[in-house]
Amino acid sequence: MRRLPVFLVLDLSESMIGDDHRRLQEGMTDLISTLKTDPQALETVYLSVIGFAGQARTLVPLVELPSFFTPRLPVGSGTSLGRAMTHLMDQIDVQVRKTTTEQKGDWKPIVYLMTDGKPTDDIDAAVERWNKGYASRVQLIAVGIGRYASLDTLRRFTESVLTFTNGGDQDFKKFIRWISQSVSVQSRSVGMSGAAELPLATFDESFLKKMEHAASQIAQDEDFAIVRGTCAKSKLPYLMKYERAPAHIRTQHIAFEIAPYSLSGVFPVEKDYVEWSESNAIEGSINSDQLMGSPGCPHCGNPIGFAMCNCGAIMCLSGPGSATCPVCNKEGHYGYSEGPGFDVTRARG
């Protein structure tokens, strides 16, 4: 039996933190259990999962469905699409069997690439390598998740670009179902037609659309900010997500609009966050005056999650007084500040 290699390349950047990350994690489990009920897919599909944030790594190497276990999806800082595509091409070279005089090789590999942002690394070399050596022998379906995904960038790799409008849990479930149906359809169609590209399952345009024109997207600035903190007790990182909340200020004399960011959630992340993040990342900064709301620490329960050490690190505190910074290990004295805000580094999606 010839294998049908399917690669899922997933954006695990911190802009996904919160609901999208949870949905993706749950979706992976659903996808696998659905595919395992399809006899044709069970026989032919071999699945691999590649994750990328600042770094790109294989989470699951190409494996037959019955042996597939859903990996825990990590989170990191950055959206290194160039690295992800380079890693994918290296994996295709190593893992996909070529037809030789002795053996019949694998079917044409299928890649589902999902991303919610703009690349933070240089993609030119990856685009060139892909179009020269892979575009014609690998079927790539790229899906931009949400309104900040750079569809124009995805178009440089494939004509097959879809955009997923994320309306919540139900839409995400439909989206995952569409992927599993597409893989099922593909596993049945393989070898039966002379068509170069295998068909995708039909979809409901309320949540998924095919991009027909390259210039149909207006570039948008992200309207959220993510600030990274470190737990003073466990030294584990956590992410505070702020969303832009336009507000009107109206007094007797003046009326103007301000656009501060207000806290939408705080999320603990695992130790491997650092390994998945870009090293030497140049990060944007945002003034703390722009950020409304301060959460507690999701790791240790300290009530203050937003204290800043002189070294620039954000850490958790049990209250005013002296505390040791988990990043630089220096002791400092902390009180409440009433003065002007300070600049904090803003992590990159």
Contact between 297 and Zn ion by CB under 5 A: the answer reads yes
Contact between 314 and Zn ion by CB under 5 A: the answer reads no
Amino acid making up residue 266:
V
Which residues between 235 and 254 bind Zn ion (CB under 5 A)? Answer: none
Contact between 228 and Zn ion by CB under 5 A: the answer reads no
Q: 80 with 55: CB under 8 angstroms?
A: yes
Contact between 231 and Zn ion by CB under 5 A: the answer reads yes
CA-closest candidate to residue 11, choices 56, 48, 71, 46: 56
Among 83, 156, 299, 348, binds Zn ion (CB under 5 A): 299
Find the part of the chain contacting Zn ion (CB under 5 A) among 13-21, 125-133, 265-273, 326-334: 326-334
Find the part of the chain contacting Zn ion (CB under 5 A) among 15-23, 42-50, 269-277, 289-297: 289-297
Min dist CB 307 to Zn ion, Å, is: 10
Among 328, 334, 343, 345, binds Zn ion (CB under 5 A): 328
Min dist CB 18 to Zn ion, Å, is: 19
Contact between 153 and Zn ion by CB under 5 A: the answer reads no
Contact between 325 and Zn ion by CB under 5 A: the answer reads yes
Find the part of the chain contacting Zn ion (CB under 5 A) among 4-12, 136-144, 185-193, 291-299: 291-299
Among 6, 269, 313, 323, binds Zn ion (CB under 5 A): 313
Min dist CB 310 to Zn ion, Å, is: 6
Contact between 291 and Zn ion by CB under 5 A: the answer reads no
Min dist CB 300 to Zn ion, Å, is: 3
Find the part of the chain contacting Zn ion (CB under 5 A) among 29-37, 77-85, 246-254, 299-307: 299-307
| Beta-ladder partners of 339 | none
Find the part of the chain contacting Zn ion (CB under 5 A) among 42-50, 103-111, 232-240, 337-345: 232-240
Dihedral of CA 162/168/169/170: which sign? negative
Amino acid making up residue 259:
A
| CB nearer Zn ion, residue 24 or residue 314 | 314
| CB nearer Zn ion, residue 189 or residue 234 | 234
Amino acid making up residue 316:
C
How many Å apart are CA 286 and CA 194, to the nearest integer?
54
Q: How many CB atoms lie within 10 A of CB 40?
A: 16
CA-closest candidate to residue 148, choices 225, 238, 202: 225
Among 214, 258, 259, 311, binds Zn ion (CB under 5 A): 311
CA-closest candidate to residue 12, choices 48, 47, 50, 69: 50
Q: At what angle do helices 19-35 and 169-189 cross, to 10 degrees?
A: 30
Q: In whole angstroms, how far apart are CA 119 and each of 51, 123, 124, 170, 254? A: 14, 8, 11, 28, 41
How many Å apart are CA 349 and CA 226, to the nearest integer?
8
Say if residue 298 is exposed, middle or buried (CB neighbours under 10 Å; 0-12, 13-18, 19+).
Answer: buried
How many Å apart are CA 286 and CA 224, to the nearest integer?
11
Among 41, 141, 309, 317, binds Zn ion (CB under 5 A): 309
State both tokens at 234. 């466990």
Min dist CB 51 to Zn ion, Å, is: 26
Beta strands 161-164 and 139-145, pairing class: parallel
Among 316, 317, 323, 347, binds Zn ion (CB under 5 A): 316
82: enclosing H helix or E strand: helix 81-95
Tokens 């990043």 map to which residue?
Answer: 327
Contact between 4 and Zn ion by CB under 5 A: the answer reads no
> Under rule CB under 5 A, how many of the chain's residues touch Zn ion?
13
Contact positions toward Zn ion, by CB under 5 A?
231, 233, 297, 299-300, 302, 309, 311, 313, 316, 325, 327-328
